[in-house]
Amino acid sequence: MNILVVTSYMTRKNLIVVLVSLTLLNLADLVTTVISLNSGLYEELNHIIKFLYSQSLVLMVSYKLLIPLIPFIFLFRFRNRIKSNIRDNYSDMSLKEIIQNVILSSTFLAMVWATFVYLLIVIHNIVLLWFGNSII
Q: Domain count for the chain, please give it.
A: 1
The amino acid present at 68, given as its one-letter code, is P
Give the separation between CA 87 and CA 66, rounded to whole angstroms: 35
The pTM for the full model equals 0.77
Give the separation between CA 111 and CA 117, rounded to whole angstroms: 10
User: Which has the higher per-residue pLDDT, 72 or 98?
Assistant: 72
Model confidence pLDDT, tens digit, residues 49-76: 999 999 999 999 999 889 888 988 888 8
pLDDT at residue 1 greater than cutoff 90: no
Model confidence pLDDT, tens digit, residues 30-40: 999 888 888 88
Give the separation between CA 49 and CA 72, rounded to whole angstroms: 21
Domain with 33, as residue range(s), is 3-135
Give the separation between CA 61 and CA 39, rounded to whole angstroms: 18
Of 58, 15, 18, the residue nearest 34 (C-alpha): 58
